[in-house]
A and B are shown apart, each in its own frame.
Chain A
Amino acid sequence: MAVTKHGEGTSRGKATARTEATARTEATAVIDRAGLDALIKTLTADGRTVIGPTVRDGAVTLAELDSADALPWGWGTELDAGHYRLVRRTDGAGFAHSSGPQSWKTFLHPQREKLWSAERGPDGALTVRDERGEQPSYAFLGVRPCDLRAIAIQDRVLAGGRFADDGYQERRRGALLIAAECTEPGATCFCVSMQGGPAADAGFDLALTEVISDLGHRFFVRVGSEEGARLLAAVPHEVADMDTEARARGGVSLARDRMGRAMPPVDLRTLLGASPESERWDDLASRCLTCGNCTMVCPTCFCTTTEEVTDLTGDHAERWQRWDSCFDLDFSYVHGGAVRTSARSRHRQWLTHKLSTWHDQFGSSGCVGCGRCVTWCPVGIDLTQEVAALAAEREGADDE
């Protein structure tokens, strides 16, 4: 495939022509692997920290990338409840893997963050200093559509209310999002049944769809913002041809029907809201280790706690924030003891929050169907099955 370099003006012009020709409102293009590499180099030259998928320690993790070579070319993933394994692919695809144990919250809402420090002067005076400092300007490459939705959910939680988490808000404002649509959903994926899908519909600067055929290895690109258009203009790209576009859209559309799992088609908000006394929680509690892995890997789980750290002089103190989990016994501690001591109540809190009370608190579900919690649960607890059991129990109760 021949890729020619365009000046900004011409590429804009062609993109517009294309747009008119297909009566679509968005600009599209095609880039190849070299174009992807140029994208990373351009972003780096712009002072951005580029984060994307790469193979490390037997998993696809998210890490800083300096070239497209670091992407997981030729790697796929084999998933199941409590199971994750890298597998070789013969087609050399770079985005045919499913979500790994990390999500973008690792960068937008980091595991540990220093919030402020306090000095005590000789006269007892208190000086408090904001310690968040300047935040990195990220570019995320390969954001899955489920994770785009997860980011939008965390936006509402951490920056959409009366108070904003300043650190999060600043990192988020500075972040450029390059989505990678899904053509190879994993066995634990169920985004479609959570009203999402393998196509990126909003919230990206550029969206890529990987296409591999005898015509070559290339990426169909859709532009989602002015920033995305500027970026595309700066790298070698071509006008999108019919074949690439058709294969891209077709691949994503097929993926929609190949989800590994599905959430039962019930009103989750109502079901979970009505099930606090369900017997299923006891069964679940007998299997759950309350390890909190599911909350760590979940891209929307946002809970944190704070730590107070003092130095030896005793006149300097720091306030740190770190991820916390509702599975932790201390999470609900009030003077006299924890509110949620049983595994039953802690798992119920997590699942009910995700699927029901999240709507009350933040106006949407807290689950995007990425499947991470299913994959990374050491005992293979699968929330789609738990919901099916809760629904069956409820139906049985209604029938009586």
Chain B
Amino acid sequence: MSELPVPYRVIGRRDETPDTVTLRIEPAGEALGPFAPGQFAMVYAFGRGEIPVSVSALLPGGHLAHTVRRVGAVSQGLCAARPGSILGLRGPYGTGWDLGQALGQDVLVVAGGIGLAPLRPLIHAALADRKAYGRISVLIGARTPDDLIFKTESLLWPTAYTGVTVDRPDRGWTGEEGLVTRLIDRARFDPAGTTAYLCGPEPMIGATARELVHRGVPAARVRVSLERNMRCATGHCGHCQLGPLLLCRDGAVVGWDQAEPLMAVREL
């Protein structure tokens, strides 16, 4: 590993769910090179450590958003940041979603839980240039209504279809119930002319990708974001290996044609 973290200042903070926070940050000095949707930064919480976090929005002036779920020491540290707090960032790292692949095609975005965060800059980019694509659909799944992120914003996305479903509804929930794959029927897309972007827990990615390929979406056009332990993000620590891939370098976004045989091997 070689790159040093550069300081970024927190200028905005929003609680998305009881355990998830979106931080808006600006460079406190020099900005990092431009991020593409789907790329990630190694984000440093002082005294706690560094973790990979995707960009959840690309904002004017080199500002970024990160959406972090509190699961352990470092993510807790990041979620505790307040406006004025300084974080350290390295990046950009990873392959990104590559929206270019979808030019002229229908775009299908499928997210599970916090997986919507890395997909949000992709959705923003596609919607900002709507004429370049066919129908844009966004399918969102979460465990419970409380786990839904970007709730208000997602209602306002001018997509062809935005669907939301939860596994375990609470009493006030009037929307869809069940796994996100159930929403595939609701979206209108031409499978052979569709590029899909998937992020969420591995079982959700697998089930969705298989279903889409079954319906005729070419496997290479089903782009999935995978997660492994990462210490360096520069291809030197060996932790993010998935068979032949170093996910920090060859991923984290890869085509399902590449991911499927690897994910089929237990404990790879």
Please list the residues of chain A having a beta carbon within 8 angstroms of any beta carbon in chain B: 115-116, 118, 120, 124-128, 130, 157-158, 161-167, 276-277, 302-306, 308, 310, 314, 317, 319, 321, 324, 326, 331-335, 339-342, 344-345, 349, 352-353, 356-357, 360-361
Q: Are B266 and A349 in contact (CB under 8 A)?
A: no
The verdict on A357 contacting B50 (CB below 8 Å), with A115-B1, A334-B227 known, is: no
A contact patch SS: mixed
Q: Are A353 and B241 in contact (CB under 8 A)?
A: yes
Query: What are 8 A-to-B residue pairs whose CB atoms are below 8 Å?
Result: A118-B88, A120-B47, A162-B235, A162-B249, A277-B265, A305-B231, A326-B238, A345-B267
Closest chain-B Cβ to A62's Cβ sits at a distance in Å of 23
Residue of A whose beta carbon sits closest to that of B265: A276
A158 to B236, alpha carbons, bound, how many Å? 6
Q: Are A128 and B267 in contact (CB under 8 A)?
A: no
The verdict on A124 contacting B85 (CB below 8 Å), with A158-B236, A339-B267, A360-B244 known, is: yes
A173 to B241, alpha carbons, bound, how many Å? 28
Closest chain-B Cβ to A101's Cβ sits at a distance in Å of 21
Q: Are B268 and A276 in contact (CB under 8 A)?
A: yes
The verdict on A302 contacting B236 (CB below 8 Å), with A124-B84, A308-B49 known, is: yes
Q: Are A335 and B72 in contact (CB under 8 A)?
A: yes
Residue of A whose beta carbon sits closest to that of B48: A308
Q: Are B1 and A321 in contact (CB under 8 A)?
A: yes
Please list the residues of chain B having a beta carbon within 8 angstroms of any beta carbon in chain A: 1-7, 28, 44, 46-50, 71-72, 84-88, 227-229, 231-232, 234-239, 241, 243-246, 249, 265-268
A352 to B62, alpha carbons, bound, how many Å? 42
Which residues does chain B contribute within 8 Å of A342, judged by CB atoms? 267
Which residues does chain B contribute within 8 Å of A166, judged by CB atoms? 2
The verdict on A306 contacting B50 (CB below 8 Å), with A163-B235, A163-B236, A276-B265 known, is: yes
The verdict on A333 contacting B235 (CB below 8 Å), with A128-B5, A276-B268, A306-B50 known, is: no
A352 to B245, alpha carbons, bound, how many Å? 13
The verdict on A163 contacting B49 (CB below 8 Å), with A124-B84, A332-B229 known, is: no
Which residues does chain B contribute within 8 Å of A335, judged by CB atoms? 71-72
Which residues does chain B contribute within 8 Å of A126, judged by CB atoms? 5, 7, 28, 46, 86-88
Which residues does chain B contribute within 8 Å of A163, judged by CB atoms? 1-3, 234-236
Q: Are A333 and B268 in contact (CB under 8 A)?
A: no
Q: Are B267 and A157 in contact (CB under 8 A)?
A: no
Residue of B whose beta carbon sits closest to that of A308: B49
Residue of B whose beta carbon sits closest to that of A325: B238
A-B pairs with lowest CB-CB distance, top 8: A303-B238, A360-B244, A345-B267, A163-B234, A126-B86, A126-B7, A335-B71, A166-B2
Closest chain-B Cβ to A332's Cβ sits at a distance in Å of 6
A124 to B84, alpha carbons, bound, how many Å? 8
Q: Are A306 and B49 in contact (CB under 8 A)?
A: yes
Which residues does chain A contribute within 8 Å of B71, judged by CB atoms? 335
Residue of B whose beta carbon sits closest to that of A295: B238
The verdict on A306 contacting B88 (CB below 8 Å), with A118-B46, A317-B46 known, is: no
Q: Are A331 and B236 in contact (CB under 8 A)?
A: no
Q: Which of A302, A304, A339 contacts B231 (CB 8 A)?
A: A304
Q: Are A130 and B265 in contact (CB under 8 A)?
A: no
Q: Which of B47, B243, B244, B249 contacts A308 (CB 8 A)?
A: B47
The verdict on A116 contacting B28 (CB below 8 Å), with A304-B231, A333-B229 known, is: no
Which residues does chain A contribute within 8 Å of B88, judged by CB atoms? 118, 126, 128
Most central of B7, B46, B245, B249 by chain A CB within 10 Å:
B46
A386 to B215, alpha carbons, bound, how many Å? 43
Closest chain-B Cβ to A262's Cβ sits at a distance in Å of 26
A277 to B268, alpha carbons, bound, how many Å? 11
A361 to B46, alpha carbons, bound, how many Å? 32
Which residues does chain B contribute within 8 Å of A304, judged by CB atoms? 1, 231-232, 236-238
Which residues does chain A contribute within 8 Å of B2, judged by CB atoms? 163-167
Q: Which of B47, B72, B268 contacts A310 (CB 8 A)?
A: B47
Q: Which of B47, B237, B245, B266 contacts A303 (CB 8 A)?
A: B237
Which residues does chain A contribute within 8 Å of B243, judged by CB atoms? 352, 357, 360
